[in-house]
Amino acid sequence: ETGLDGWLRYAPHPAETSNSYRAISNIIVLNKSKTSPVYTAGKEVQDGLRRILGQKIEISGELSGTPSSSVIIGTVEAFSSTCGKIPEIPELKEDGFWLNTHAENDCVHILGENERGAIYGAFEYLMRLAQGNLNHVKSASNPSAPIRWVNQWDNLDGSIERGYAGPSIFFRNGEVVTDMTRVAQFARLLSSIRLNAVVVNNVNANPKLFSKTNLDGLRRIADTMRPWGVRIGISLYFDSPKKFGGLPTSDPLDPAVNDWWKDITAKVYEKVPDLVGYTIKANSEGQPGPLSYNRTLADGANMFARALKPYGDGVVMYRAFVYNHHLDESVWTNDRANAAVDYFKELDDQFEDNVIVQIKWGPIDFQVREPPSPLLANLRKTKGAIEFQVAQEYLGQQSHYVYMAPLWREILDYDMRIDDKPSVIRDIVSGERLNWSRSGYTAVLNIGSDSTWIGHHLSMSNLYAYGRLAWNPLASSVSIIQDWARLTFGLNETIIDTITKISMESWPTYEKYSGNLGIQTLCDIIYTHYGPSPGSQDGNGWGQWTRANAHSIGMDRTVATGSGNAGQYPPEIAAIYENIETTPDDLLLWFHHVPYTHRLKSGKTVIQHFYDEHYEGAAHAQTFPIEWAKLEGLIDDHRFKQTAFKLQYQAGHALVWRDSVNNFYFGKSKIPDGKNRVGNHIWRIEAEDMHLSGYKTVSVTPAEAASCGK
């Protein structure tokens, strides 16, 4: 198996199980149009029942007479207009559905609030069957939030920024591809986990997206995804009027600039009438934006919002990821973590109602551990969406495996205590806590044309988990991974237990060998964001600093003596982080600057904790390939071997991580490891001591990224 079907393999059940399931007589779709999600759902159920249970069933478009043993798929409205209301169906939210597997006359009812809901219900039915869960189901399911998107960072030349699975499925050589096969397969996967939109191009956007050929291409993409209930959005380059439209300026208050965007928006909607909206990265990492024209971020966002207004429900996802990447490190109070609140808080009442501020989950950038972004507690009137990252940019780039549901759950479960009242982030994001009418989730995904989609078979669990949590943020990380493992690899207990064990241990393990106590992922910070490079954190303008010197380490973010970042949280939370005694150890160095000899709550010093964690983490990574080996013969050979290779690589690279980070801090602090390991690997064979034909030894910068600097 190649992985292409993801969790939608519909593996056949053994004859005993499938025979015990009642025969379905036919599938009735309440919308016969081949482009409707209801029809697609009918085809999917037909295919699924054939593959899982071996039943060959016809689809019919008519609901006539008294159906019996039929699977009936449609909207609640379409059903009740022919058959009358079903009183037990509760009020459904947008995209919600009703599933009754044992309705009247042995029928299965799959009825959505809208057509998307119907296809979601169909997938729910099939995934239950595929997991051998044939019990009676009669329930409604509703999303926690209306916005459940993914972002692709695809460039028009076919490359993908921070993509780890081959070239784009959307673009090649400056244009949208012609073959839409993978696009349809992608839409199917997204639809099955109830994600309703994908922004197809990089946030570092290229205005050539507006060429006539590419607008036609966008139409092709949208037409391909629409039958699956997936809409598309696009990222815009702020300076397009100037760089693409020939205007002298892109000033958001210039009427000609506004007209230009209105005109472009009309052209886009002509091709994609159900465009979901625009994503904007502006005044961030060298991108132009309203601040370049001495206008506010709200002026910029509102210009796009007004252009979208005539076309229905399109929204502007305006990214809060605005910061100065030339910060002066010598100024003790400078802090990139402050940027989002500094920029956006004062604009809270100035955005049009179809602007949504898209907020990365942490204040900096998808690190192995951060506190939640304080901006999530500082917007009241302006609606927000949380941004996760399924691509493991700082978490091993799909060469290491980190299952992120536990990390996301920690953030979603965090109580921000806005106005000293319960303010759990999942309730802020759903819109409930602050009465937002439209809000939700997005995630940087970056699948590519590799048959694994994402570059590592196990990392697909992150996409699955993201969809599940955006629908229901209370879903448990363990049950999500178990469901995913059953669907992706099979129902055998050893498969489920092994994958669950590796997955649940993966984040703590990676944290141990890549960056402890809230110091962030100590990877290369300038270019690749991969591999150990603790020395690259400081001495640059990017602001992911550790402020490590010979005696002490950590960012002082207190109000009393530091950058004041702790004070951006609501008072109860601010008080916790302001005080070193109440700051949890795992965020100690995020909020405080302490000597290496500072004692943690465990009694260990910071430096000894670093040494020990790196040894423990690297040692634990060695267990993953051993665990995985238990699956030999239980799953297909192809995916078994590919995954074994990745886990073996990770185990090796974890040792490189361990030694690089430990050697670096030993070098800085000169404090020996109490267990006498660091710098003492008499048994270790260094690469430069080997003789390999065809290779020569060269010096490497930074030295700690290589074996003895070579």
Q: Could you confirm whether 688 is annotated as catalytic?
A: no
Residue 423 identity: S
Contacts of 51-55 with CB under 8 Å at 24 or more apart are 51/10, 51/11, 51/12, 52/10, 52/11, 52/12, 52/13, 52/18, 52/126, 52/129, 52/130, 53/12, 53/13, 53/18, 53/21, 53/129, 54/12, 54/18, 55/18, 55/23, 55/24
- Please tell me whether residue 370 binds ligand BDP under the rule CB under 6 A: no
By CB under 6 A, name the one of 1, 106, 157, 161 that touches ligand BDP: 161
- Shortest separation between residue 529's beta carbon and ligand BDP, angstroms: 6
By CB under 6 A, name the one of 109, 148, 188, 281 that touches ligand BDP: 281
Nearer to ligand BDP, 393 or 578 (CB): 393
- Shortest separation between residue 360's beta carbon and ligand BDP, angstroms: 7
Q: Could you tell me whether strands 171-172 and 175-176 are parallel, antiparallel, or unpaired per DSSP bridges? A: antiparallel
Which residue is associated with the tokens 């303008």?
541
Instruction: Please report, as residue ranges, which positions from 182 to 211 form the binding site for ligand BDP (by CB under 6 A).
Output: 203-204
- Please tell me whether residue 540 binds ligand BDP under the rule CB under 6 A: no
**What is the DSSP track for 339-382?**
HHHHHHGGGTT-S-TTEEEEEESSSSSS-SS-PPPGGGGT-SSS
Report how far apart the first and last C-alpha atoms of the chain are (Å, whole number).
40
Question: Which listed residue (62, 285, 413, 689) is catalytic?
Answer: 285
CB 634: neighbour CB atoms within 10 A? 14
The residue number whose beta carbon is nearest to ligand BDP equals: 365
- Shortest separation between residue 319's beta carbon and ligand BDP, angstroms: 7
Nearer to ligand BDP, 391 or 574 (CB): 391
Question: Which listed residue (115, 154, 393, 704) is catalytic?
Answer: 393
Question: Which listed residue (365, 370, 387, 659) is catalytic?
Answer: 365
Nearer to ligand BDP, 204 or 350 (CB): 204
- Please tell me whether residue 365 binds ligand BDP under the rule CB under 6 A: yes
Token pair listed for 19: 């025979």
- Shortest separation between residue 287's beta carbon and ligand BDP, angstroms: 8
Are residues 253 and 295 in contact, defined by beta-carbon separation less than 8 angstroms?
Answer: yes
What gap in Å lies between CA 428 and CA 415, rounded to an integer? Answer: 10
By CB under 6 A, name the one of 9, 43, 162, 309 that touches ligand BDP: 162
Nearer to ligand BDP, 280 or 355 (CB): 280
What gap in Å lies between CA 310 and CA 550, rounded to an integer? Answer: 60
- Shortest separation between residue 204's beta carbon and ligand BDP, angstroms: 5
Q: Could you confirm whether 413 is annotated as catalytic?
A: no
Which residue is associated with the tokens 């990222």?
235
Mask for 109-148, x = binds ligand BDP (CB under 6 A): ----------------------------------------
Give 422's Cβ-side CA count (13 Å radius). 5
Instruction: Please report, as residue ranges, which positions from 311 to 350 form the binding site for ligand BDP (by CB under 6 A).
Output: 321
Residue 70: phi and psi, rounded to 5, are -100, 150
Q: Could you confirm whether 686 is annotated as catalytic?
A: no
Residue 568 identity: Q
- Shortest separation between residue 323's beta carbon and ligand BDP, angstroms: 10
Q: How many residues bind ligand BDP (CB under 6 A)?
A: 11
Nearer to ligand BDP, 170 or 366 (CB): 366
Instruction: Please report, as residue ranges, which positions from 508 to 537 form the binding site for ligand BDP (by CB under 6 A).
Output: 529
Cα 541 from chain centroid? 26
What gap in Å lies between CA 523 and CA 654, rounded to an integer? Answer: 12
Q: Which residues are catalytic?
A: 285, 365, 393
> Which residues of the shown chain bind ligand BDP in the complex (CB under 6 A)?
161-162, 203-204, 281, 285, 321, 365-366, 393, 529
